[in-house]
Amino acid sequence: MAVILRIDVDSPYGKKNFINHIFSRLTSDLNLPPILIFPYLEYLNDFINYLNNRDIQGYFFFRKCTLPAIETLNLLKKGKHIIGLHLENSRSFETFKNEVDIIKSHTKSKVEVFSKHGSGKYKYGLHHYSLYEPEKYLEWGSKLGMKIFLGNLEDPTIPFYYTNNNMLFFPTAFWLEYSWRNIMLFDINWLIQESKNRNIVLLIHVENVLYNKLFLNEFETIIQNTKIRII
């Protein structure tokens, strides 16, 4: 049993300052190409190197606005990580398939895993469809031969299961960031102990974690006390 590392790549330029945050949003809303005056996905490359140096593999989920550049793709390949879709426009099967095809074409690889951007509460951008409808995604994913869907619920006690179409579904995750986790009930020690008995997803947003000393220290504790693997 192990920790399954899920990395949702939400932001082209991170959120270390207001300007970066604004240009990340504009890139998403206007479908802009990378703006060269800003370091595109620099924070993500730093994190992939961090994992590669520790021989840790994870699942990286990309939006259309965070498609990995050549440097990022090379780092992911070097670390034997898995690339998936971070679904944004989930209005229909057609919009879902369109995003899957974009990731496939860009990365020149299979896309068999996916996650959803947002949990149904807020709209994160012009093209984002905010409703969270996992039953639909499981049906759509099955049509395209997808193998794994990682869901967004915040109660990490909910177990994973296989659907009737043999897709592996993790309805929930242990969110490293406190905004989406009851830290009184589910602290790092809970995760460490729980991962000894079953596979459990650890969800992080790199731009919120990499340069935050508290979160990074907690992530280090998880690394040192659990097995992190690809399933």
Looking at residue 26, its pLDDT comes to: 55
Alpha-carbon span 57 to 13, nearest angstrom? 23
Alpha-carbon span 71 to 65, nearest angstrom? 16
Per DSSP, 160 falls in state P
Looking at residue 40, its pLDDT comes to: 74
Indicate the pLDDT class of residue 102, thresholds 50, 70 and 90: very high
Residue 180 pLDDT > 60: yes
- Per the document, the length of the chain is 231
Q: Say how many C-beta atoms besides its own lie within 10 A of residue 55's C-beta.
A: 9
Tell me which of 1 and 135 has the higher pLDDT: 135
Looking at residue 65, its pLDDT comes to: 84
CATH architecture group of domain 3-225: Alpha-Beta Barrel (3.20)
Q: State phi, psi for 77 to the nearest 5 degrees.
A: -65, -40
Q: Where are the domains of the chain?
A: 3-225
